[in-house]
Chain A
């Protein structure tokens, strides 16, 4: 279990590392190409350090036996092919170093970015809606960056003519950062269709870039806004669906003439179930899981009960597992009957949270109060007699129920179960004696 968790944690950390470094490297490569035009020591060190991470990642993938097609892609994405041109570093095409042209191969890391975001939902508990929003923001950032780079490098390729936007804006001699900020500003205002008009196209290629950017911006704007609206409305779909179920039930009960007080009790019950169980009926929900996962979840859910309740304290691990699998979790709202007088005992109850009052007549003062860790209902089940008292929830109660057929099955399959019950019943013998003398059978 721990090994699996560690593997998941490692996989998640590695994917997040690849995601961040992929974003940094594609942004850096495009920036160097468009604005710096030549290699810099700091930029190269950063880029090669990132490459080293990707090469280590390939080795790990190779060790894990990834398919050869995927490995070739990873090699192309990771290998610093530009080092092959270091001896010809002085060469340039259109005024940009040959090394920076080759470095553009790293842009295929864009594939990592989107595939990792898509895969994160399988290995993380982050809401998929948030992941989709993050993906859109990343698209905006990367697209804006590429448009800014293209807007500037096009002017650079044409040799900064007098009527190009770079000269008209007076940034042809400005630093890389200043030039980048102005380009990015134009890219964002155009992509978002704001378009202040302070930087405008004058040359044919500038018009082409502007048209493509505006068209992409309009499409992206509509696509992203539409998607974000849908994502936000779906983020709390579970709560909305639960709320709708409660409202439908409330309307139905009102139509059927159910008193307001009972209707409010039902609403309060659902409110509690939402707050404590996120609206899930754990018993039926967990039954969908395979047995081994169901057992692990149940052992986690009942871990306090396993420590506090004597029946589990004295049970062997095997017996504990069988009992936990057989138990049914139930929530009782204040004042509701857990067991009623006059009913034949077909189940026994283990209190997990809350208190249970034992009342002779309904609504009368409590004869006894049972607390978390206590259990009841066994005597009626054992002797087959009618219950002679009511067990009423005092406040919200979480109770685990063991049905008679499970009780009998466990008793037969695990003879030590009777020894455990005998051991624990001797601890509550005073209470049992008092109840028996009062004529209470539960």
Chain B
């Protein structure tokens, strides 16, 4: 998995590229945690290049959302592909996480 971090208009955009499964989830979680600990006020997790999400990946999303909310910060997830969107929808995570169809929309709403 490749993790890319950009900063757009003071918003941290973390792109998770590749498969997010039990093997790669700890690495992704550690990368995201760095910014949570830095108390970045606004974050977007881009799933545009995420090809697959397992339960471990869902756990990372859930933990990220919980920690950001607890710290009074905002996080949005964006642009999942069809496979990932289906997993998020069917598992009920679309209702727990704030998922936007495009990065622009996510950035605009933060």
Contacts and interface: CB of A to CB of B under 8 A. Distances in A.
A436 B87 CA distance: 13
Contacts of B90: 378, 382, 418, 421-422, 425
Contact of A425 (B53, B59, B92): B92
Nearest to B52: A383
Contact of B93 (A385, A418, A432, A439): A432
Interface size, A (range):
20 to 34
A439 B87 CA distance: 17
25 contacts: A378-B90, A378-B91, A379-B91, A382-B87, A382-B91, A385-B22, A385-B54, A385-B55, A418-B86, A418-B89, A422-B89, A425-B90, A425-B91, A425-B94, A425-B95, A427-B92, A428-B92, A429-B96, A433-B62, A433-B92, A433-B96, A436-B55, A436-B58, A436-B62, A439-B59
Contacts of A418: 86, 89-90
A-B residue pairs, 3 tightest by C-beta = A426-B95, A425-B92, A422-B89
A422 B22 CA distance: 24
Interface in A412-437: 418, 421-422, 425-429, 432-433, 436-437
Name the residue among A378, A382, A427 with the largest chain B CB count within 10 angstroms. A382
Given A436-B55, A436-B58, A426 B92 contact: yes
Contacts of A436: 55, 58-59, 62
Interface residues of B, number: 19
Contact of A426 (B53, B59, B87, B94): B94
A425 B22 CA distance: 23
A295 B87 CA distance: 30
Contacts of A385: 22, 54-55
A427 B95 CA distance: 8
A383 B95 contact: no
Interface of B: 22, 52-55, 58-59, 62-63, 86-87, 89-96
B87 A425 contact: no
A346 to B, nearest CB: 16
A432 B91 contact: yes
Contacts of A388: 55
A441 interface: yes
B54 A425 contact: no
A441 B55 contact: yes
B75 to A, nearest CB: 15
Contacts of A439: 55, 59
Given A383-B87, A385-B54, A437 B94 contact: no
A379 B62 contact: no
Name the residue among A385, A422, A429 with the largest chain B CB count within 10 angstroms. A422
Interface string A308-342: 00000000000000000000000000000000000
A76 B93 CA distance: 78
A378 B57 CA distance: 16
A433 B91 CA distance: 9
A418 B54 CA distance: 18
A312 B20 CA distance: 32
A349 B103 CA distance: 36
Given A382-B86, A383-B87, A429 B93 contact: yes
Nearest to A383: B54
Contacts of A441: 55
Contacts of A379: 55, 91
A286 B109 CA distance: 54
A196 to B, nearest CB: 83
Interface string A268-301: 0000000000000000000000000000000000
A425 B86 CA distance: 12
